[in-house]
Structure formats: structure tokens, C-alpha cells
Structure 1
Amino acid sequence: MNLKLYFLTFWSSRNKNGGEEKKKQAPKANGAWPILGHLPLLSGPDPFRILADMADEYVPVFRVQLGLQHALVVSSKEAIMQTTNDMSFMGRPNVLALKYMGFYGGFYALAPYGPFWQEMRKVSILELLSNTRVELLKPVRASEMSTCISELYSLCCRDGKVGSVKVAIDKWFQQVLFNMIAQVIARKRYSSVGKDASDKELKCLKRAYEDFFVMLVTFQKSKGIPFTRWMNFQENRVMKRTEKEFDFILSSWIADHKQRRGIQGQLKEDRDFIDIMLSMFEGSDDFIQGHKTDDVIKANISGIIFAGTDANYATITWALALVLKHREVLKKAQEELDLHVGQERWVEESDIKELKYLQAILKETFRLYPAGPLSILREALEDTTVAGHYVPKGTQLLANIWKLHRDPGTWTDPDEFQPERFLTTHAGLDVKNQQYELIPFSTGKRSCPGMATGTQMILLTLARLLQGFNLVTPTNEPINMTEAAGITLHMKYSLEVVLTPRLPNKLYE
């Protein structure tokens, strides 16, 4: 009976939209299955490539069917520009994963557009992730970076001698970035050698963000097919279990901060993100726009952990893989470091502005391997028009950033790794520009608010690693650049390197 009702709903919705079809909607891509639409075609490891092939046929925009939902796919800078210049696509579709890991919608970046989203965006931009805040937290990042480099160096020391060691460097990147973020959020640090009692927390936190991204994909796919949602029962249980463990840890962090604030005052420059949020909401009601205050704090913490660790870890791993694959690029990067910094001190964040080639390497990595090759879905809040095509309210929007970054109309040899392009033909182009050619953090008011912090962490980590160590692959074997499936574009296989210290021993101590 329920299945019959679903089919009636499906066909009636098609008939109801018949009038809208006459308003010249964007063409619908071929290959849609009955009911499921294009979901089977897009369920593989690289849906961005499939959508890129479709874009070559349906220029400049087209539609795909995601169950009962329809999404407008944009891949050109002109079309993307039209979707970010007004309020039409400020909405977000509801995703069940946010109910749990987003603490009932308290994570503003994925929250629906409205007063709560507006207030939390202001908090994020002006307080948590502002340039001033990034600058104030520079010593925290530098201290954590020094500790992690020393730990890496210790692996090279055996029996009092310094030599080479094989390391899964992607796991080290993950540890470094996670520790940096934990320090910025709560002044927490987790051992990289697995001997600290707090490692139980680390495992839980890592499992939480891994589960979050898996569930985000699962629930998003099922959203357009109502009668299949019951099949997500097991995933739902996993999400609830993970959320309970995660909530316990974050609640303890907040409780510790509240207790410390009650015992001693704190200097403004010594505050972490939890301190800042507690100060901001101090004296306010227990609810903010219908959300519990502690839930809002926990949601913002989880958002920074999930997005900050996962995206940055993916990007820096790709950057090093590309550099190792192109040895001449590695040589130039180390020569630049030796020229501007030397070998008698460590590179600092203040040096980064002079390291133009290193910045070009990161920009080219952003271009070829954006952490989010497809933008997070947005939703039309009203009827609108894109590239001359009618877009009805409720239509979802998907920007193919991977396709945009490989547009031969913008980039010469778009599939080639050429950092030099950002010193010549595309000099001055950065991820914050409004030219819509390089948008690894998306664009518009729904873009990632942590781009400045994330970029600084990646550049400092990569600079310290390249300055401090010579790197080769084990037995000089070629790097497997296969991509893993998922919302974030990760390398499928672990990146192993052989490290040899290249600076005076005293600098590592």
C-alpha cells in the first residue's frame, strides 16, 4: 500500500510540474532510471567526472534527478557566478546526519537559511575565524608544529645516530592538523605515539568525523527516495551511538572551561574557541534562536573539527604527492626555502608571504584536487533564473568545482601539474578572488568561513616538512594517485615516504 502511495505521489508531482517544464528549464541529462533517476550513475567513486562528461554535452547548465529531487548542475564560472550573487540559492536541504552530528541543526554552515544562520555566520566571521583571531592564535599553531616536527625527527634517531625512516606521512599530516585544531578549540593535545591516556578520546573524535561523512553521503542519497529510508536503520543506529560518545567528550570540554572560568580570569589573547563562545553567550538565555546554547557551541566545535581536519588533511596529502611525483618542483620549493629562510632557523608563518612558489604549489593542488570536488548541496528558496533557464523553488544546486578547475577555456593544459602558472599567466589569482576561476572553498555567503585558517595551517605544515627533511618514496617507486570515494577527495592509498633530516640537529631538539 505504501509503495502504491509513493508511485501516485511521484507521478502527481511530475504532472504538477508540467507547467513549469514549459518555462524552459535546463535540459535533463540522459540516463535517468525510473524513480531512482541518476542516483545509480552517481553512486561510484567519481561522480564529479560523470557530471563533468555530462556538462560537455549540456552546456552551460543541466539537471539531474536524485530520486524525487531535482538538482541543477553548474560547471562554468559564468553560471556559478549567477548562483552566488543573490539570495536565491541560500538554502540547504535537510540531511538527517545534521540532526545528530550537527547537534539538532546547531552547526550553522549546514543549517537552513534564516535568523539563526545569519547570527552564527556573523559570530564565525567576526570572532572565531577572523584575520585577527587567526593572527592571535599564531603562537599556538607554531608551538604545535614544532612539537610535531620534533616527534618526526625522533623517529629518524636510532642508537644515537640520525638516519632515514619510512613514514606514512598522510597519517602524520592528519595527526598534526588534528592537534592544531584541538589546540585552537580547547587547548587539547593528543599524543602521536599512542601512549597518552587521552588517545581514547582521539579515537572517538576520529571515528565521529569519519562516520559523519559516511552518513552524510548515505542519508543524502536516500533523501530523494522516501520508501528506502527504512533501509538506513543500521546507519541511523551507528550515527546515534557515535553522537552519544562525541557529545560526552565535547560536553566535558565545555564543563572544564566553565569551571576554569569560575576559578580564574583569563587574558583575552589566551582564549581558545570555547572560551570565546562562552564569553559571547554569557548572560544570554539558554536558547539561541531556538537552539540550546551548549548545543550551538558543540555544533560549532564539531564543524571546525570535521571540516578543518578532513579537508586540510586531504589537500596537504595531495600537495606532497604531486611534489614527490614532480621532483623538479620539490627541488625548487626547497631552494626557495633555503634562499628566503636559510638552514639556521625554522620557517615561520611570517615567512610564508615571501614563499611565492610554495603558495603556487598549494594553489595548483587546490585546482587539481579540490577537497570538495562537488559543492555541498544548496537549495533554491524562490523561483529564479540561471543561464536563461527557469529554476523552480526547491531545486537543489550542485556546483562541479572539479570541472570548473579543469576548464580548458581558462587553464592551459588543465590536467597538468604546473605551479608556475600562478607565477605567470594566473599570477595574483587566489582562493578569495571574485573571478570564479579558483574556488576550492566554494564561493558566496555559503563558502567555507575557515579558508584563511586552513590555508595558513597547510602552508606552515608543508613548509616545515620540506625545509626540515629530504623526502623520497620507498625504493623510488611511483606514487599511486588513485582517488578514494567520498564527499572529500582523498587519496585511496596511504602515502609512504622515506625521510632524512636536512637541517642542523640542534633545530629539531
Structure 2
Amino acid sequence: MTPFFIYTLITIISLLTLKFILITTKKLKNLPPGPLSIPIIGNIHQLKHPLHRTLYNLSQKYGQVFSLRFGSRLVVVVSSPSIVHECFTKNDTILANRPPLLAGKHIGYNYTAVTVAPYGDHWRNVRRIISLDVLSTHRLNSFLGIRKDEILRLLQSLARSSRDGFAKVELKSKFSEMTFNTIMRMISGKRYYGEDCDVSDKEGAKEFRELIKEMISLAGSSNPGEFVGIFRWFDYGDYEKKLKRISRRFDGFLQGLIDEHRRKKESMNTMIDHLLNLQESQPEYYTDQIIKGIVLMLSSLLWTYEYSV
């Protein structure tokens, strides 16, 4: 390329960039105050660990509501309980949507799972199903026996560990197994964790544990492509490729569970069986995809618990 062409190209790109900055600044002129951001990366360079200390220090300088740029994404940080209450009570519908991240596209069934779906008719319909048919007081009370049984199994395990005297026990894994098995028995009637998981489904239990572990790893990782667009062009770290692979595997696993319960047609007290019964009378509301999305939402409770303990 000739120098004249290169200089012309640089000038055009610079003018377009300046125009974009001016338009963006004009549109966002009413934003809360915040530190000056750097083009492309925004304020990411200022996010030092521990993060809560960094945000606290920024709130002391810019106030209880301030703006940050995570690459190309705008973030508003609220550190006042009264303002948080106002955001999620008076203005909850305005702030109901979540950013369209790649995990929501590939794992969340193209943003149709309730945890990642945009606010609207579909979200309200799935939320209604979850409130009435999955997590209602009546439905949860019907699983009381499962919860009691899993607690009893935990106590028996602890008793066995200390039957010859005092013993040091690593409780995190035991609490995780109890929580995971409780939720999965409510969903599918099967235990997937621990030494006494369902003997008849060892391979399925192993596959599920591997899937959950990989999904936790991907969902909890920070993907630069979500914030800096240029990284997404060439799939930095093969992140989207990994998401597509795990989403296919997890979808196949969930569909296998649904098909198994549909074939057996047992009168089991599981969430999948209850939703399949409703599917027979209202197939347009209780599609396989919606059922899988609900199971995905309940499985995400496992991820939340895994990170909180």
C-alpha cells in the first residue's frame, strides 16, 4: 500500500472513532460520575484485588452511585442500601435485564432460560411456571422426605467417621454432596454425588459431575471478549468454542433425562415428572426446551453454592 493510502485510511478511522466518541458522550451525558476511562479497556486497569476494597475507595471519591467502563460495557456501581432498594423495587423492571453474555447464548438456550432471559412475556411465563409448578410452598413441602433423608445420610457419614474416636472431617465436600444430591433428587429422583450415589447409574453420575465441574469453570471465568470486542472476533482463548461444546453435552444430558422419564411414565415425585404431566395438557407452555431451561436454572443453584462455600 502507498503511504498516501495508509495516511488516508488512518485519517478516516480517526474521524470515525472521534464521531463515535462524540455520539456516545452525548447519549450518556447524564451518567453518574466516575474515573476517567481509557479507550478500548475502559477502567479495567483500575480493578485491583480485593475488588470490594477498590469499589469502596472509588465510592469515597465519586459517591454512592458512580460509573465505570469494563471495556465497551457501561457499569453503574451502587453502594447505598437505600438506593439499591429503590433500584430493585421502584425501578425493578427497568433494571431486570442482564447483559447478553456468551454463556447466556450457548448454555442458556439463546437467552430463553429464566436466569438470562430478557424481561418480557417469555420471562414472565417461565417465572410463573417456576413460581407455581416448581418452587411453590406445596411443591417444596412435597420434597420434605428427600431433605430429611439427605440430612440423615450426612449425619450417618459423620458418625462413621468418628466411631473410633474424634476425627478431623472436611465438611465442605460433604455439605456440597448433600446440597447437590438434595436438588438433583428433587429434579430427577437420582443421587449423583458421594460414595453411595445410585449404583445403577454410575456412568451418568460421573458424566453429570464432570459437566457441572466444567460449567462452573466456564461460567465463573472472565472472558475478555465480553468486554473488549476485538478479542471476540478471533474467540480469545477458544472461550466460545468451549461454551458450544459444553452446551451440546449438557443439552444432551438434560434431554436424556427428560426422555427417560417420558418413557418410564412413572408416578415419581420429581420436578421433571410433574412438568411432563403438565406438558401433556399444555404442550405450548411446557416444551422440552422450557423444561430443560428450568432444570438448568435449578442446576445453577449448585454453581452458586459451589462458589459460596
TM-score normalised per structure 1: 0.53
2:204 match: secondary structure: helix
Q: Does 1:39 align with 2:44?
A: yes
Matched residue, 1:455: none
Alpha-carbon separation, structure 2, partners of 1:27 and 1:216 = 30
Q: Which has the higher strand share?
A: 1
Tell me: CA distance 1:18–1:244, structure 2 relative to 1, closer, same or farther (3 Å): closer
Q: 1-side partners of 2:105 and 2:115: how far apart?
A: 13
Query: Pairwise mapping of residues 176-191 of structure 1 onto structure 2 (< 5 A)?
Result: 176-191=178-193
Determine the structure 2 residue equivalent to 1:281.
279
Superposed CA offset, 1:420-470 (max 9, x none): xxxxxxxxxxxxxxxxxxxxxxxxxxxxxxxxxxxxxxxxxxxxxxxxxxx
Are positions 1:256 and 2:249 aligned together?
no
- Which residue does the alignment assign to 2:226? 223
* Bigger shift: residues 187-196 or 171-180: 187-196
Aligned equivalent of 1:96: 102
One-letter code aligned to 2:19:
S
Instruction: Give the Cα separation in 2 of the matches to 1:222 and 1:213.
Output: 18
Matching residue within 233, 238, 249 for 1:234: 238
**Mapping of residues 4-19 of structure 1, within 5 Å:** 11-19=18-26
3-state secondary structure, aligned to 1:297: helix
Following superposition of structure 1 onto structure 2, how do residues 88-487 of structure 1 map, counting pairs within 5 Å?
88-157=94-163, 162-193=164-195, 196=199, 198-216=201-219, 218=221, 221-229=224-232, 230-232=234-236, 234-261=238-265, 264=266, 266=267, 271-285=269-283, 293-306=287-300, 308-315=301-308, 317=309
Local SS of the residue matching 2:192: coil
Secondary structure of the equivalent of 1:78?
helix
CA 1:233–1:311: 2 relative to 1, 3 Å: closer
Distance verdict in 2 for CA 1:54–1:201, change over 3 Å:
farther
* 1:66 corresponds to: 70
Q: Which letter maps to 2:23?
A: K
Query: Counterpart amino acid of 1:188?
Result: K
1:314 and 1:217, CA in 2 relative to 1: closer, same or farther beyond 3 A?
closer
Residue 137 to residue 35, structure 1, CA distance change in 2 (3 Å) = same
Give CA-to-partner distance per residue, 1:478-499, whole Å, 9 cap, x none: xxxxxxxxxxxxxxxxxxxxxx
**CA shift for structure 1 position 18:** 3.0
Match of 1:117, SS? helix
Higher relative contact order (CA 8 A, sep 6+): 1
Counterpart for residue 3 of structure 2? none
1:233 to partner: Cα distance:
5.2
Work out whether residues 184 and 273 of structure 1, in 8 Å CA contact, stay in contact via their aligned partners in 2.
Answer: yes
Q: Which amino acid aligns with 2:273?
A: D
Partners of 2:28 and 2:243 lie apart in 1 by: 39
SS in 1 for 2:99: coil
Which runs of no fewer than 5 residues in structure 1 stay unpaired?
A: 318-509
Question: Cα RMSD (Å) of the superposition?
Answer: 2.9
SS class of match (1:17) = helix
Once the 2 structures are TM-superposed, how far is the Cα of residue 188 of structure 1 from its aligned partner?
0.6
- AA of the residue aligned to 1:153: A
How many angstroms apart in 1 are the aligned matches of 2:19 and 2:290? 39
For residue 164 of structure 1, report the CA deviation from its aligned partner.
2.6
Contact between 1:97 and 1:219, CA under 8 Å: does it hold in 2? no
Percent pairwise identity: 22
Q: Secondary structure, in 3 states, of the residue corresponding to 1:110?
A: coil
Partner SS state of residue 66, structure 2: strand
Q: Distance in 2 between matches of 1:304 and 1:77?
A: 28
SS at match of 1:62: strand
Query: Residue 66 of structure 1 contacts residue 224 of structure 1 at CA under 8 Å; is this kept in 2?
Result: yes
Aligned-residue offset at 1:257: 1.1
2:53 aligns with one of 49, 65, 75 = 49
What letter corresponds to residue 12 of structure 1 in structure 2?
A: K
* Contact 1:66 1:221 (8 Å CA) reproduced: no
Q: Which amino acid aligns with 1:57?
A: K
- Conserved in 1, the CA contact under 8 Å of 2:106 and 2:247? yes
Q: CA deviation at 1:156?
A: 2.8
Helix, strand or coil at the partner of 1:109: coil
8 A Cα contact 2:161 2:167, kept in partner: yes
AA of the residue aligned to 1:50: T
Shift of 1:9: 6.1
For 2:162, give the aligned amino acid: C
Give the alignment's TM-score, normalised by structure 2: 0.84
One-letter amino acid of the structure 2 residue matched with residue 279 of structure 1? N
Distance in 2 between the 1:249 and 1:129 partners?
23
- What is the total number of aligned residue pairs between the two structures? 297
Q: Following the alignment from structure 1 to structure 2, what is the Cα–Cα distance between the partners of residues 309 and 185? A: 12
Question: Which consecutive unaligned segments of at least 5 residues does structure 2 have?
Answer: 1-5
Q: Which amino acid aligns with 1:29?
A: P
> Matched residues in 1 for 2:46 and 2:200: separation?
45
CA drift of 1:41 comes to 3.1
**DSSP 3-state at the match of 2:46:** coil
